Each structure stands twice: as C-alpha cells, then as structure tokens.
Chains A and B, each alone.
Chain A
Amino acid sequence: MTDPQLALASDIAIWASLAVLALALISFSAHLAVTGAARERHDKVKAREKVRVGVGADGEQPADTVDDDRATGLTDSTTPTTAAVEPPTVSHPAEVTRRWGVIGLQLTWLATFGVVGGTILRGLSVQRWPLGNMYEFAIVAASFALIVFSTWSLKRDRLWLGPFVVLPVMAVLGAGKIWYTEASQLMPALDNTMWLSIHVTLATLSVALFIIGAALGVAFLLRDSAEKRSRIRGWLAGLPEGDKLETMTYGVHIFAFPLWTFTLITGAIWAEVAWGRYWGWDPKEIWTFIIWVVYAAYLHSRATSGWTKRHATYVALLGMLCIILNYTVVNLLITGLHSYSGVST
C-alpha cells in the first residue's frame, strides 16, 4: 500500500526545506540587525534635531501619527478632511535596505512550498492523510506555521518576525527527523478518515498558531525589558513597540484557543466512537486538558487588571512548554491509548 519512491521524495523535500530555512534564518537575522541599527541611528539623529529645533516645531504634530491607509482612504472622498493634509509617516527610515528581509521571506516561501510539498508526497505515498504519527504531526504543524507566517507577511510587514518563526519551525522539523517514522499504514484505532483528518488537522493548526503566538510572546518580552530599561539597542530596535507585539501575541492566541477547544471536542467525539468513552483521563487527554486550562488561564490573566501583560505572557509561554512536553515526553515515555508515535521503544 505504501509507495517507497514517493516517501523518499517527501523525505528529500523536507531535508531540502530545512536547509533553505537555515538560510532564511540567516537572512532574517541580518534584516533585523540592519533595520535595528538603522532605526537606532535614525532615532539618535531625530533626538539631536529635536534638541536643535526646539519643541515648538514638533508640537504641531499630534502624538499618534497617521498611517498611509488612512490618508489614502480619505482622499477618495469628495470633501476635504484635515486628516488628508497630514503627511504620512514612513515606518522605515528611507536609507534602510529591506533586501535581507525580502530574501529571507522569499527563501521562507520556497521552504513553505518544500514542506507542504513534502507533506503532500508523504500523504500520497501512504494513500491517507499524513497525520498518523509523530513525524507526520511535525511536518504538518510546520507546514501550517509556515503557511500562516508567509501569507501574513504578504499582507503586512512581518519581516522582523521571521527569525522568531523560522527557528521554532526548524526545531519542529528537526524533532520530526529525530523521531522519524517510516511511511506505513495506520493502526485501526486511528483508521477513521473523517475524525483523523478533522481532529489532527485542528490539533496541528492550533499548535502552529500557538508556536507563532509564543514566538511573538518571546519577542514582546525581549523588547519590553529593553524598553523598561530604555536601552533599545541593536536588533531589538528593529522590532515593533512592545505594546504592539503584545497585542499581536494576544491576537494570535485568540485564534489558536478556539481551535484547540475544537481539537479537544473532536478528540472526545472520536474517543467515544473508537474507545467507547468520550473522556477517560488517558495521558494524552490529560495533557490536552492541561494545555487548554493553561491557555484559558492566559486569556483570563490578559483580561485581569491586577496582572501585568508580562505575567500574562509568561502564562502563554507556560502553555507552549506544556505543548512541547505533550509532544515529546507524553508521546515517547508515557504509555496510553494515544501511544502511536511510531517510534520503537
């Protein structure tokens, strides 16, 4: 039933993508370093000008500057508005090159095609959804993370996020390679095309989003500590402001959390069909529950005034730690009904 040639092609595609991602990581890092340094320089010049010209000249401009969208949006109207008069501010100082970041993004797109292609080849080689063991889980989750990041980057400038996404994706693919499983058919408990595709697709997609959320959370924590000490130097200057990073962190999590809830519910339905009970405190079920509860705590802590954004972000990262433990320790060391890592013990 399995086609070894397609499986080999899939393996090669994933390995090649891993190499491309390594190059993308270097380009993105270079981009962050270049833009960071340039912005630092720009800020210094601005600060000096401010001193020379005095506060009066700058005082005319409102504190929150207007972005391009808004200005263009309003000039369409037949009536004039004050907003249209204000000059649009440029988010990047003019002299900064975005070359490295764009190369990184192009490489990431290449790797996205590689990983997605490798995943599809894997599915074709076993003639089923490639969601049956740890290795396949890793490549599908990596595919989703890359697709989300790459398409997001088309809409908004997310070049600065590159290293934060590419590095964990490489880790996921690397983990997949460590616990590589040869292409083969599924055990009967997993052999339910509908629930396998729904439950595991949701699980991989939400894990991919949680990874991006955690990446943003780490970026926020780094930038925030720099801002607190007023020492925004080097590549940290290339990141957006801490508040914006934090809002994005939360924004990604509120997509991921309902998806994880769906994962939990579809898993329960499948467990009812396959094992005769929808909830039985199997180790994997326990960990799905733990992850759900920790992220629920994150969403609550985010909405509680007594908790700082920093502390809330720590809770989100605790959730990521639980996901990592769930993938590694629970799959490999704890036996339960979900023991289908495909790895010899």
Chain B
Amino acid sequence: MASTRTPERIEPSYPKDRTTLGGPRLGPAGWARWAWRQLTSMRTAIYLLLLLAAAAFPGSIFPQRSVDPVQVRTFFENNPDLGPWLDRVLLFDVFSSPWFASIYLLLMISLVGCIIPRMRQHWRSIRAQPPPAPQRLTRLPARADGTVATDGREALAAAREALKAKGYRLRDAEDGDLWVTGEKGYLKETGNLLFHLALLGVIVAFAAGNLFGWRGEIIIQEGQSWTATAGTFDTLNFSPLADEGDIPTFTVELNKLDVAFESQADGAQFGQPRRFDGLATVEVPGQEPEQQEFAVNHPISVAGDSIFLLGNGYAPIVTIRDPDGEVLYSDAVTFLPQDNNYASEGAIKVTARDPGLGLVGGFLPTLRIDPELGMTSSFPGLVDPVLALTAFEGNLFPDGRPQSVFNIDTDQMTQLTDEEGNPVAMLIRPGEYFELPDGTTVEFDGIIRWAGLLARHDPGRMPALGFAIATTVGLALMLGIKRRRIYVRIEPTTPTTGSVQAVVRVAGQPKGSDPGLQTIVDDVLLRITRITGDRTTTPETHHRDKDTV
C-alpha cells in the first residue's frame, strides 16, 4: 500500500560536498578581480562615504591634538580614566589615525578604479556614433507624433536639421533609412570625470601642503623688530619633508596695533572684539623695506608667504630700581590673556638683582573686584588697568631647567612678606610704583600691545584652490547637463492619390530622471513641422489640412 510506505529519499545526483563539484571556480586571480569589483562598485563607495562621515564625527566632539593640544591636556586632567582609553584608539588624533586614513584611502582607490574605466568608456563614446533608432518607439518614456505634408525623404531632412539646430550629434545617414538618432549632453560625463579627478587633485594638494609646509608662531610687541630664522620663532613646526633651509629670511617690525572692543551692546556681545588693525614694516634682504597694513582678515605678505595676525594682548612696561635708584630692569612684559576680558598672566624675572627677584601675577585691563572670584577684568579694553603681582626671591633658574617666560619656578625661591608676615601683594596702576620691604621699587610706566603672528608656508594651497575650482566646474556640468537621445522615425503614407504625407514619430530616451524630456521631444516635433511647413507651398498645406482633420 502506497500510504504506509515511507517516502523514498531522493538523493541529489551531484555530490553533496561542494568542493568536489567541478565547474568554474575562482582562483586567486578570480578572487582578486572579485574584490576589485566589490571595492570599485558604487554601492561600496556609498558605504565608504557614509563611513567617512561617521569617522569624522568623533573629531568634532573630542579635542584634537592637531587643533588644540591644550584642550587635549585639559581633557586628560578632567577624565583621567577615560582619556588614555580614548587615546589608545587615537580619538585625539582622528584625522591622522590609520583608521580614518584607511577609509579615505579605500575611497580614493575605489574612485580611481571607478573613473579609469569610465574615462576609457567615455572616450570611446565621444568618438562613436549614436546607436540606431529602435524599431518601436512606443516603449520610450517621452514621445510625440505628428503628420507633415511632405514625402519621407524631406521629412527626414527636416528632422536632421531640427536636431542639428538644437545641438544634437547625429548618426550618419545611410541610404534608404527613414530614421535618425541624435545624442546630446556628453559634457555631463566629462564634468563627472573632471569633478572626481579634481577631487583627487584637492586631496593630493592637501597632502603636499602637509608634507612640505612649515608654520611658526611669534609674539612681537609694538615697536619691536624681529628677524625670521629657525631659532627666533616661539614655536616652529616642520612638516615631515620640510627643514630649516626652507624658511626665507625677512624682518618684521610691528609699528602699531589698534584694537577695539564692543562697548555699546549688552549681553553676550559686550566686550567682544571688534577691530584689530596693525601696521608693520617688512624687509626682505635685497629689497626696500615696505610698510604694510594688516588685520585679522588681511595678512602681511612676505616673499610669497603670508603672516597672519592670530592673537594679541597687553605688555605692561615695568621698571625696577634697587634702593639706590639704579635701574635693575626695564622692559615691556608680555602678559598672556586668559579669558575674553583679557585678564592676563605673566611674570617678570629680574636676574640683575642678587638674590634673583621674580614677580608673578596678573594684568587686568579693567579691574573689577568680584565678591566671589576676587580680582577680575570686566572689559577687555583699557578702562582701569592694574598690575596685581606678588614677589619671590631666590634662584630664578634652578638647575638650569627650561621654563616658561610667563611663569616662574618657585622651587628654590621664597615669597616676600611684609612686617606682619603676610605675602607681599601689589596693585599698581600706570604711573604708580610699589616699594618692596627692602626698598626695591616696582614702577608701572605704561602699557603697549603685542601681536601674536603666524608665519606659514603651504606649497599645496594654490594647487588646492585650482583643483577646488575645477571640482565646481565639473559639478556644474555634471548636475546641470542632461544626457539625452532623441530618435525620429518617418513613416510615409499616401492618404489620397497624388498627395504625399509622412507621420513623424519623435521619442526621447533619458539617462536618469529627466522631467524636461517631454518638452524637448515636443519642441523637436514642432521644429520639424515648422521646417517642413516652411518648405511646402501654403495652399497645398491648407488643402491637406482639411483632408486630415
């Protein structure tokens, strides 16, 4: 009985183990080709683009060493546990990290792998003729049909003329054919390729700038003159392939620096900087000194490079005399602003005195005594400037260790105290002086400004600009031009004996979405009917009009 029989198991005729199966298999070359296809596919490019965007994201939430190393240090201090872990995956150096680099390198490879075959293909298609018109035009998305009162040959000539007038490239006519193909918009693909090539150019130029450039920072006080050599910068960074020999020799004298702050508006805008204007004299060896105005948005130009105004601050002029009135120290001292109201910090190191005298503290352009914070500045401009200093005595440079000019190393120094044992604290305004317990006087003579300048050399910047402009040209062509093919087929008919007539069928084939195609197709038909209409004598046309309607 069939129902009780256990169903027979059907074994496949081929071996179950796929490895013993014959047929084509991928060898190493095949796999490599497969991987290359995958990498250069558009789908991969989309994922890589989205991945690149995601990878750039942490660079904006964590401080970056390349942008602001101080903030990175602060982050470490505030998050001692988290910091080292984040550092291990290079979240403070996102844009130089291997994982970021691997994404954009893959993207670049994918790009090259995509555009090289496309360039070849485009080159061929530019030189090739448009393809023949399909037999049935009804399948195309945009169509228009009409009837003209001429024979087939004349209608075809009109169609060719109409397409040519609209700038279409035509397929060569062959005898007996009553159709024509026109194609237009080759510049779209040219623009596409230009855009992608120029994009590669931008990346290469950016890389060149980061390999061959240098940047140096220097603080110059008003009236000071500074000669650029490798040793005279406050900080100097070379790219991997640049060295001291690349720095040109020039001298910059800061004649004057004007600064203005917002004093009218209330709220967050009060005290915002409004104007930084400077005047500098630049001298390049072998050339006449030249005076240049400069500002934050208007760098000084020197020997093909630019010097930018990045920072500014105050330098109080301080004179220190020993009890006999002899000058021990007299100089403008650069104080570094610490907040938006230019509450600044700095130090004065008097080595001419024995033991050494160190003054450290703050400069406040507009003094305000805050009940909680103590002495602060309430406005960045000079409304009520004061120097608030405390004094130390002893060895200013213990063990010859390098130290900041803005602070003193008090390891081997003792703080000066008054008779009651309180630390000496002086609050002096311009024109005033303070006498230390031993009779040494500290005099506040006046205030000048200083400018923080950045000299930078980037050989990639002009090429990068050129390529960037090329990308926009490419983009405009690529997105602004439509690739279109228009087919025209002529079908001669003889409605009544003795008269000639032809049905003109126009169809358009778009590449991608093309909402305007129907209008173009209609316009082509209109032109064809106009051209044939012009050539036909009017009475006949009228006559036939009556016939056909």
Interface residues of A (CB under 8 A from B): 1-2, 69-70, 73-74, 76-83, 181-189, 191-192, 195, 247, 250-251, 254-255, 257-258, 261-262, 265, 268-270, 272-283, 286-287, 289-290, 293-294, 296-297, 300-301, 303-304, 306-307, 315, 322, 330, 334, 336, 342-344
Q: Which chain A residues lie closer than 8 Å to B264 at the CB level?
A: 1-2, 184
Contact B296 A296, beta carbon cutoff 8 Å = no
Q: Are B145 and A281 in contact (CB under 8 A)?
A: no
Which residue of B144, B265, B465, B513 is within 8 Å of A250 (Cβ)?
B513
B265 partner residues in chain A, CB cutoff 8 A = 2, 182-185
- B299 near A74 with CB under 8 A, answer no
Minimum Cβ distance to chain B for residue A56 (Å)? 20
Interface flag for B344 (CB, 8 Å) = no
A294 near B50: Cβ-Cβ < 8 Å: yes
Indicate if B515 sits at the interface (CB-CB under 8 A): yes
CA gap between A247 and B518 in the complex, in Å: 15
> B residues within 8 A CB of A336?
67
> Which residues from 435 to 478 on chain B have a C-beta closer than 8 Å to any C-beta of chain A?
454, 456, 458, 461, 464-465, 468-469, 471-472, 475-476
Q: Across the interface, do B310 and A276 meet the contact criterion of CB distance under 8 Å?
A: yes
| Given A74-B522, A79-B147, A192 contacting B297 (CB threshold 8 A) | yes
B415 at the interface (CB under 8 A from A): no
> Which residue, B53, B145, B454, B475, has most C-beta atoms of chain A within 10 A?
B53
For residue B43, which residues in chain A have a CB less than 8 angstroms away from its CB?
304, 306-307
Say yes or no for B5: interface residue by CB 8 A criterion.
Answer: no
Task: Tell me the smallest distance from the CB of A7 to a CB of chain B, in Å.
Answer: 10
**Distance (whole angstroms) from the CB of A213 to the closest CB of chain B:** 13
A277 partner, pick from B149, B458, B518, beta carbons under 8 A: B458
Decide: A258 near B476, CB < 8 A? Known: A83-B144, A281-B67: yes
Residues of B within 8 A of A185 (CB): 262, 265, 269, 272, 274
Residue of B nearest to A78 (CB): B533
Roughly how many angstroms separate A247 CA and B475 CA in the complex, as a whole number?
A: 19
Q: Is B148 an interface residue (CB 8 A)?
A: yes
Chain A residue at minimal CB-CB distance from B307: A276
Known contacts A79-B532, A272-B461: A247-B60 contact under CB 8 Å = no
A-side binding surface: helix, strand, loop or mixed? helix
Cβ contact within 8 Å between B479 and A83: no
Contacts A283-B60, A300-B46 known; A73 to B310 CB distance under 8 Å? no
Contacts of B518 in A (CB 8 A): 70
Which residues of chain B have C-beta atoms less than 8 A from A254's C-beta? Answer: 479
Question: Which residues of B are interface residues toward A (Cβ below 8 A)?
Answer: 42-43, 45-46, 49-50, 52-53, 56-57, 59-61, 64, 66-67, 94-95, 144-149, 206, 215, 262, 264-269, 272-276, 295-299, 306, 308, 310, 454, 456, 458, 461, 464-465, 468-469, 471-472, 475-476, 479, 512-513, 515, 518-519, 522-523, 525-526, 529-530, 532-533, 541, 545, 548-549
Q: How far is the CA of A183 from the CA of B266 in the complex (A)?
A: 10
Question: Could you say which of B46, B461, B530 contacts A304, with CB atoms under 8 Å apart?
Answer: B46
Within the assembled complex, what's the spacing in Å between the Cα atoms of A76 and B50? 51
| A80 and B262 form a contact (CB under 8 A) | no
Residue ID in chain B nearest A264 by CB atoms: B468
Residues of chain A within 8 A (CB-CB) of B276 are 188
Q: Is the CB of B50 within 8 A of A315?
A: yes
* A228 CB to nearest B CB, Å: 20
Contact, CB under 8 Å: B299 / A273: yes
CB<8 Å pairs between A and B, sample of 30: A70-B144, A70-B519, A74-B146, A74-B526, A76-B526, A77-B530, A78-B529, A79-B533, A80-B147, A80-B545, A81-B529, A183-B265, A184-B272, A185-B274, A188-B295, A258-B479, A269-B465, A272-B461, A274-B296, A274-B308, A276-B454, A277-B456, A281-B67, A282-B67, A290-B57, A294-B50, A303-B512, A306-B43, A330-B60, A344-B268
* Bound Cα distance from A2 to B49, whole angstroms: 45
Determine whether the beta carbon of A334 is less than 8 Å from that of B476: no
> Given A83-B146, A304-B42, A281 and B95 touching (CB < 8 A)?
yes
